[in-house]
């Protein structure tokens, strides 16, 4: 039950972001019991693994995702109205517990293979998401979406709360899977629903709340038209700007709103690639972090961001900050890795459990090879991770002391079955796209 990892380039991702050459880390009963450099402790009976100088760092935290949407990945790419043309009708028709299980398994495989060990999700039939992520061995915050647009798994808000209650009951006390409630967005839950979530949340202090916030120009227009204010104020009037609220996107914020979010204890999931792919804009990440708001690096759903590893996000996160700052200096590489680990854990309220490699924390960690020629030379290991490393460089992944991947082989999911199941559902989606396009042609 104990494993000693030695001879690592150890990145504990603690304050100051030290780099420990020749580092060791001892895992006992799913937790880190010792970490340091020099002679490792004599772990009686521990399996000893020599990492040969490979990078050992905390597993990465993806604080915003719609993981079952792997099955929509690349569907209608570049079509500006694809949401209304394809996605919403197809979600209504096809989203089922089976579809959610299949899509989650595909996304779990990819997340593990890319070094992500914790995912905050929000989708439908979320109990199914939690079950699959549990089987995969991942850590997760699984959020049942509640919305008023007749979503696939509930026709009334009451039903949405019922699903959330069932989710919370199923995972109560689970060591890795944490239930969450996810009012979709201000424009799709409006003040009465958000206020109800706020009250419900007060009675369920261990169930984090997730929401999409200040993401779209249409959302700004809706808030102005409906309430004569901006989306942050709508959420504030509902009483939902509560400590620990996980707000995704946060593109359109002014200084006063940033100060209000900081004061309220809100945390932010930054979806750089998804926001940019949609042509929406660049979130004010530097200002948010300067205000003391933890900001994590998120993939968004794979229909929006395509991939589920954080390496694909590092370039955009870094570049957008430098473009906003018109300098090479903003968002140094070391900050990007801090956000992908420690800060992402703080966003999810899991900073005491994961996010750094320290004695006492859960053993959620990844090993990354630097053998690829594109990774060489290395002058700054954080710059290498941000600008040269790719998901395929991740060799091993451990969550709570369990190896989920060794030597690039995922152990908790059956790859062939995952791909076969996904292929069958994708075939149905393809046929439906043909029907939708045909109906559009007839209608025009």
- Contact residues toward a second copy (CB under 8 A) are 70-71, 73-80, 82, 106, 109-110, 113-114, 273, 276-282, 306-309, 312, 315-316, 318-320, 322-323, 325-330, 332-333, 373-374, 376-380, 383-384, 387-388, 390-392, 415, 418-419, 422-423, 425-426, 429-430, 433
Q: Is the dihedral of CA 218, 224, 229, 235 positive or negative?
A: negative
Name the strand (E) or helix (H) holding 185: none
* Residue 178: strand, helix, or coil: strand
Q: DSSP characters for 44-103?
A: TT-EEEE-TT-EEEEPEEEEEE-GGGGGGTTTTTT-TTHIIIIIHHHHHHH--HHHHHHH
Least distance in angstroms from the C-beta of 358 to a second copy: 26
Least distance in angstroms from the C-beta of 380 to a second copy: 5
Residue placing its CB nearer to a second copy in the complex, 14 or 312: 312
Length of the chain: 444
Q: What distance in Å separates the CA atoms of residue 437 and residue 122, rounded to the nearest whole number?
A: 29
Residue placing its CB nearer to a second copy in the complex, 228 or 377: 377
DSSP 177: E
Q: What distance in Å separates the CA atoms of residue 346 and residue 306, rounded to the nearest whole number?
A: 25
Residue placing its CB nearer to a second copy in the complex, 90 or 362: 90
Least distance in angstroms from the C-beta of 145 to a second copy: 22
Q: What distance in Å separates the CA atoms of residue 351 and residue 332, rounded to the nearest whole number?
A: 22
What token pair was written down for 158?
A: 């009451």
Give Cα separations from 442 to 36, 75, 82, 206 (angstroms).
Answer: 68, 21, 18, 52
Least distance in angstroms from the C-beta of 420 to a second copy: 10
Least distance in angstroms from the C-beta of 260 to a second copy: 27
Least distance in angstroms from the C-beta of 111 to a second copy: 10
Residue placing its CB nearer to a second copy in the complex, 77 or 159: 77
Residue with tokens 């994590």: 296
Least distance in angstroms from the C-beta of 78 to a second copy: 4
From the number of C-beta atoms within 10 Å of its C-beta (0-12, 13-18, 19+), residue 44 rates as exposed
Residue placing its CB nearer to a second copy in the complex, 226 or 376: 376
Asked, as a colleague might, if the bond just before 377 is cis with ω within 30 of 0, I would say yes
Residue placing its CB nearer to a second copy in the complex, 91 or 353: 91
Q: What distance in Å separates the CA atoms of residue 277 and residue 368, rounded to the nearest whole number?
A: 28
Q: Do residues 303 and 87 lie in contact, with contact meaning Cβ atoms separated by under 8 Å?
A: yes
Collect all residues with Cβ–Cβ distance below 8 Å to 261 and sequence separation of at least 6. 232, 241, 247, 250, 253, 268, 288, 291, 293
Residue placing its CB nearer to a second copy in the complex, 47 or 290: 290
What token pair was written down for 172?
A: 């109560």
* Partners of residue 397 on adjacent β-strands: 366, 405
Residue placing its CB nearer to a second copy in the complex, 92 or 420: 420
Q: Could you tell me if residue 440 is left (phi over 0), alpha (psi between -120 and 50 degrees) or otherwise beta?
A: alpha
Residue with tokens 């880190």: 32
Least distance in angstroms from the C-beta of 443 to a second copy: 21
Least distance in angstroms from the C-beta of 294 to a second copy: 21
Least distance in angstroms from the C-beta of 416 to a second copy: 11
Residue placing its CB nearer to a second copy in the complex, 350 or 422: 422
Residue placing its CB nearer to a second copy in the complex, 256 or 323: 323
């Amino acid at each position: 039950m104990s494993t000693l990892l030695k001879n690592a380039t150890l990145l504990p991702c603690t304050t100051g972001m030290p780099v420990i050459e020749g580092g060791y880390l001892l895992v006992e009963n799913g937790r880190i019991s010792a970490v340091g450099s020099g002679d490792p402790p004599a772990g009686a009976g521990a399996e000893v693994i020599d990492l040969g100088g490979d990078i050992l760092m905390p597993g990465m935290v993806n604080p915003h995702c719609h993981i079952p949407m792997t099955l929509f990945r690349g569907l209608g790419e570049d079509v500006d109205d694809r949401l209304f043309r394809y996605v919403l009708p197809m979600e209504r028709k096809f989203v089922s517990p089976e579809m959610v299980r299949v899509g989650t398994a595909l996304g779990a495989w990819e997340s593990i293979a890319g070094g992500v060990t914790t995912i905050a999700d929000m989708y439908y039939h979320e109990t199914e998401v939690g079950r699959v992520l549990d089987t995969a061995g991942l850590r997760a915050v699984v959020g049942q979406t509640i919305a008023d647009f007749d979503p696939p798994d509930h026709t009334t808000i009451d039903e949405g709360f019922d699903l959330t209650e069932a989710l919370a009951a199923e995972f109560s006390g689970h060591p890795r899977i944490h239930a969450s409630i996810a009012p979709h967005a201000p424009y799709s839950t409006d003040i009465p629903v958000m206020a109800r979530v706020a009250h419900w949340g007060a009675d369920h202090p261990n169930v984090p709340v997730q929401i999409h916030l200040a993401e779209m120009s249409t959302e700004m227009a809706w808030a102005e038209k409906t309430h004569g204010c901006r989306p942050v104020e709508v959420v504030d009037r509902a009483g939902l700007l509560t400590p620990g609220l996980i707000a995704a996107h946060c593109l359109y914020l002014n200084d006063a709103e940033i100060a209000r979010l900081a004061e309220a204890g809100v945390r932010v999931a930054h979806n750089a690639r998804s926001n940019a792919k949609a042509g929406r804009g660049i979130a004010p990440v530097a200002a948010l972090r300067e205000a003391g708001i933890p900001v994590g690096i998120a993939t968004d759903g794979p229909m929006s961001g395509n991939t589920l590893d954080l390496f694909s996000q590092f370039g955009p996160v870094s570049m957008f900050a430098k473009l906003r700052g018109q300098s090479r200096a903003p968002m140094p590489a070391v900050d990007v890795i801090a956000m992908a680990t420690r800060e992402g854990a703080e966003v999810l309220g899991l900073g005491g459990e994961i996010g750094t490699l320290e004695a006492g924390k859960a053993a959620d960690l990844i090993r990354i090879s630097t053998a690829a020629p594109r990774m060489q030379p290395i002058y700054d290991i954080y710059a290498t991770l941000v600008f040269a490393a790719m998901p395929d460089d991740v060799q091993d992944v451990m969550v709570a002391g369990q190896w989920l991947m060794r030597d690039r082989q995922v152990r908790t999911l059956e790859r062939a079955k995952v791909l076969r199941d996904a292929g069958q559902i994708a075939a149905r989606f393809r046929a439906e796209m043909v029907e939708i396009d045909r109906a559009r042609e007839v209608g025009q």
